Amino acid sequence: MYCLFFVWNGENTLTQQLNRSPQQDPPISEWSIQFFLLTVSSLLVIFSGMLVGYLPQFVQFAQSSHSNVSPSQLSEREQLPRSLVYEQASQLWIVSSWNGVPQKLFTPGYLYSRGVPPLITPSGQLVYGGDGVWLTDPFAGHARRIARLPVGQIITSMALSQDGSQLAWSSVLVSGKGTINLYAGPLEATVLVHQQPANLCPCFRIFSFLRDYKSLGEKTLLLTEDHGDHGAVQHGLWILNLEAQPRQLLASDPPQGPLALAPDGNHLLYASWEGYTPVPRNGSLPVDAEPLSYANDLNIATIDPQVPKLANSQVIVQGQPLPQPEAMATATYHWIMTLRFSPNGSTLAYLVFTSDIKGNFNRYSIIYTVTVKNSETQITLGSPQRVAFGSSGYYELGDWLDEHYLALYGNGGLYTLDIQHGKVTRIILTKEYARIIGAVALERV
């Protein structure tokens, strides 16, 4: 059994005491039992209050004990008016962030791809790929295909502009031959904007739109390359003005690449080198995540599209020396994954894990947050703060539900994480891996 974060197990001890066999104890009157339960409950309430008061001094992370409470029992702040869209077993599902009742979405033509997750527009529409590009309302349905895919091709990337009005995507023949096609334009009217032979790398795919209204506008694309791998591979970075040829911002060799774009569209999170870790033997890691590489450092820089170059780079997580063979026998190397900016861009959450190099290759994860203050001239970073940890198993950060709550997958379950109090509350047990796609507003009534 995996351990999901730190949890005080006093309640389990009490349950064991109350479930002792009558053959082991003398008969007790019903009134005595009720009095005993009332007394113990009162003591637990008092002790819990003391524990919360002293919690920051000796335990920085904790798990909520009310994982299955009704909406009426939650405080107004905890009744998050959001639902989560997630993928499991090649199906898309939606579940409220507080009542844990999943519903399967009607998504004709959908094909699972770790490298091309569905996207959610600011208005709550779901854009997904498969035998074309599709658009649907997660609650009302009515899916419709907004872009057709040429015969024999697969979609390798998708990206939305900041306001959701523009879409960019790429495709290539399944065989890897022929041409790589890049499309961009209005959400429901994309056109071919760039084409190149598939056997001549860099093998481009879409990374993001660049938001730079003063010069090039929202139809400037950021491209990365996958070296012909159709999985979740992102190396190097190029800028593509639709009226010119791609220009390189970040080299793809040695392995480095873009990780995320800040909500302002002008600041990039990137890694200067990436590496691989052994696959855990406990079965917690999704099969299609086994060949992934991970960032060893985390940096943020301003994108200067005119030169082009990355300017004013700052370090969030310091990189480590390239490992020597003898160093790989230890678990001293950290790896960074699932970076998520809060809706207003003022907080960045990310997960850092270490991996045992021997035995079962278990992973140990810590979730951090760091404040990000952005001005016209520079970005000011706060000190990273540890919010929660997981001992053994596989964890992924999902979307933000609001400025204080973050969705989280961990060892067969979906959870909300209160980053202010380090409190984890279960949404639903999925039993197997479920990838969080994003958060949408609750169904309109």
- What is the architecture of the domain spanning 71-441? 7 Propeller (2.130)
Q: Are 126 and 120 in contact (CB under 8 A)?
A: yes
Q: Which residue has the higher pLDDT, 80 or 256?
A: 256
Residue 266 pLDDT grade (very low, low, confident, very high; cuts 50, 70, 90): confident
Contacts for 422 with CB less than 8 Å, ≥ 6 apart: 60, 61, 62, 387, 388
- CB-hemisphere CA count at 13 Å for 341? 18
pTM: 0.80
Q: Which residue has the higher pLDDT, 286 or 376?
A: 286
Q: What is the mean pLDDT of residues 406-421?
A: 92
Sequence letter at residue 286: P
Q: Residues 6-46: pLDDT tens digits?
A: 332 222 221 222 223 333 333 434 444 444 444 444 444 33
Q: Which residues pair with 408 in a beta bridge?
A: 397, 415
Tokens 């600041």 correspond to: 267
Q: Residues 195-219: pLDDT tens digits?
A: 988 888 888 999 999 875 444 445 7
> Of 111, 61, 150, which Cα lies nearest the Cα of 391?
61
Q: What is the pLDDT at residue 245?
A: 84
Rounded percentage of the chain residues whose pLDDT exceeds 90: 42
- Which tokens go with 16? 């064991």
Q: Which residue has the higher pLDDT, 140 or 156?
A: 156
Q: Are 397 and 361 in contact (CB under 8 A)?
A: no
Rounded percentage of the chain residues whose pLDDT exceeds 70: 76
Question: What residues does each domain of the chain span?
Answer: 71-441
Alpha-carbon distance 249 to 208, whole Å? 13
Q: What is the mean pLDDT of residues 384-394?
A: 88
